[in-house]
Amino acid sequence: MNAITNHMPTAELQALDAAHHMHPFTANGELAEKGARIITRASGVTLTDSEGNQILDAMAGLWCVNIGYGRDELADVAARQMRELPYYNTFFQTTHVPVIALAKKIAELAPGDLNHVFFAGSGSEANDTNIRMVRHYWARKGKPSKSIIISRKNAYHGSSVGSGSLGGMSAMHEQGGLPIPDIHHINQPNWWAEGGDTTPEDFGLQRAQELEQAILELGEDRVAAFIAEPVQGAGGVIVPPATYWPEIQRICDKYEILLIADEVICGFGRTGNWFGSQTMGIRPDIMTIAKGLSSGYAPIGGSIVSDEVAAVIGGDEFNHGYTYSGHPVSSAVALENLRILEEENIVGHVQDVAAPYLKDKWEALTDHPLVGEAKIVGMMGSIALTPNKETRAAFAAPAGTVGYICRERCFANNLVMRHVGDRMIISPPLVITPEEIDTLIERARLSLDECYEQVKAEGLYTAL
Ligand code: PXG
């Protein structure tokens, strides 16, 4: 076999990648022309590519490398676990030490009576579990008609058929026959894009009350659960107005609808608390977790479930599970990740140091001519690009045209900052230092300046 290594020329690796590797969420034909960027190693908050560029990763991979890259402790634990017990399942009345220890630790960290964990290999799988679990829960309680799960437009809950149906991404629904039955979507609390002349507070309340209207229209006896991200991530880091979540909680309580908080991005310190639900002051019955659970070092996800839901589900066999539910290596890696997060007080670092420092600099970006609003919670932030800050206008070009230009400028300036439409988003490793935040902001400003020049030159700086 010919060895393919880091030392091969970039173009050769790109050609091989284009020939055989299908990338997710990518027009692969287009990418093959251009050539994918090849990441060869990483340390702390910095990626190295095959050309030797040092890139500040302000997305923590895909929102997941919370403790930063290059922690040997996780590699050591993985190697030890692979030697001792690389795999065993948790199906047929068996268990193993890493999964016992991890479930106990998660139960300790999770708020309230969220004391039980059903493991999966990813966030998508965990949300598929949640669909079946809440429907089965109501069936067990003698109310099988309660099968509708209410979600939100522009939500992201994963890419499998079930989780993609929960999500509210219309481009995903257009491919492959989604959504599955009995998923209902209400509007998102995105004031910047959809709030019109309403104040953010009134708008937050209105959008929350759409949940109540939906329950009344669909019938209380039909609705099983409401699922939402505490702060929408992939939808563009949409921070809801302060009025939103208290009203959602009130409605879930009033109609006894299960509340599922999708903590796949918000969990494990991202918002400045262990869970986004704590930051938003909500009491979910189920939390979806993945990503920061292992800081992305090994694939693992799960559902953290309340005492009550676990008791109801536990009454008979729940015909559900994955080969890699509670995988021993992933469990051991996740446990070591949680040890580091806890012992190094990384959530405290976010709250006391990194988030306040980043917030000041991030919000100051609104002095840039392209930047309308800047939103940030803990270590997830977004800026809205606009040709008119007062009217919050969109550009007179297909959505995302300007955002894409900005993202390309960021990449050229060794910064990974993503775009969702014409919003730019960041979600850096939680361990980022103030000096590294300075670099992030410097590169973001340079990229915004270059984007502004290009947008004007191409005649795109006009409102829709
Ligand atoms: N829930 C949320 C809130 C997520 O952000 C998932 C579930 C699914 O997790 P898995 O592990 O199955 O990917 C996610 C994943 C993006 C992007 O473009 C975001 C995610 C995944 C891929 C791309 O921002 N989030």
Chain segment 185-221, per-residue pLDDT in tens: 999 999 999 999 999 999 999 999 999 999 999 999 9
Q: Cα separation of 333 and 291, whole Å?
A: 12
pTM of the model: 0.98
- The pLDDT-based confidence of 115 (bands split at 50, 70, 90) is very high
**Mutate which of 232, 237, 265 for ligand 1 pocket (most atoms within 8 A of beta carbon):** 265
Residue 97 has pLDDT above 70, yes or no: yes
pLDDT value of residue 5: 86
Residue 65 has pLDDT above 60, yes or no: yes
Other CB atoms within 10 Å distance of the CB of residue 206 = 18
Q: Considering just the CA atoms, what is the radius of gyration of the chain in Å?
A: 22
Residue 1 has pLDDT above 70, yes or no: no
Chain segment 14-28, per-residue pLDDT in tens: 999 999 999 999 999
Residue 2 has pLDDT above 80, yes or no: no
Q: From the CA of 123, how far away is ligand 1's center (Å)?
A: 7
Of ligand 1's atoms, which has the minimum distance to the CA of residue 127? Answer: 7
Average pLDDT over residues 64-89: 98
Average pLDDT over residues 231-241: 98
Which neighbouring-strand residues pair with 134?
Answer: none
Answer yes or no: is the C-beta of 162 below 6 A from any ligand 1 atom.
no
Q: From the CA of 166, how far away is ligand 1's center (Å)?
A: 12
The burial class, CB within 10 Å (0-12 / 13-18 / 19+), for 231 is buried
Answer yes or no: is the C-beta of 262 below 6 A from any ligand 1 atom.
yes
Residue 184 has pLDDT above 90, yes or no: yes
For 291-301, b/e burial (b = at least 16 CB within 10 A) is bbbbbbbbbbb
Output the CA–CA distances (angstroms, integers) from residue 436 to 239, 306, 346, 449, 458, in the order listed: 24, 39, 16, 20, 33
C-alpha dihedral sign at 307, 312, 317, 321: negative
Residue 444 has pLDDT above 80, yes or no: yes
pLDDT value of residue 95: 98
Tokens of 130: 């949640």
Answer yes or no: is the C-beta of 290 below 6 A from any ligand 1 atom.
yes
Chain segment 387-429, per-residue pLDDT in tens: 999 999 999 999 999 999 999 999 999 999 999 999 999 999 9
Of ligand 1's atoms, which has the minimum distance to the CA of residue 425? Answer: 24
Answer yes or no: is the C-beta of 206 below 6 A from any ligand 1 atom.
no
Residue 311 has pLDDT above 90, yes or no: yes
Answer yes or no: is the C-beta of 232 below 6 A from any ligand 1 atom.
no
pLDDT value of residue 464: 83
Answer yes or no: is the C-beta of 310 below 6 A from any ligand 1 atom.
no
Other CB atoms within 10 Å distance of the CB of residue 207 = 25
pLDDT value of residue 222: 98
Average pLDDT over residues 242-264: 98
Answer yes or no: is the C-beta of 270 below 6 A from any ligand 1 atom.
no
**Mutate which of 127, 156, 160 for ligand 1 pocket (most atoms within 8 A of beta carbon):** 156
Chain segment 117-158, per-residue pLDDT in tens: 999 999 999 999 999 999 999 999 999 999 999 999 999 999
Residue 4 has pLDDT above 90, yes or no: no
Chain segment 28-59, per-residue pLDDT in tens: 999 999 999 999 999 999 999 999 999 999 99
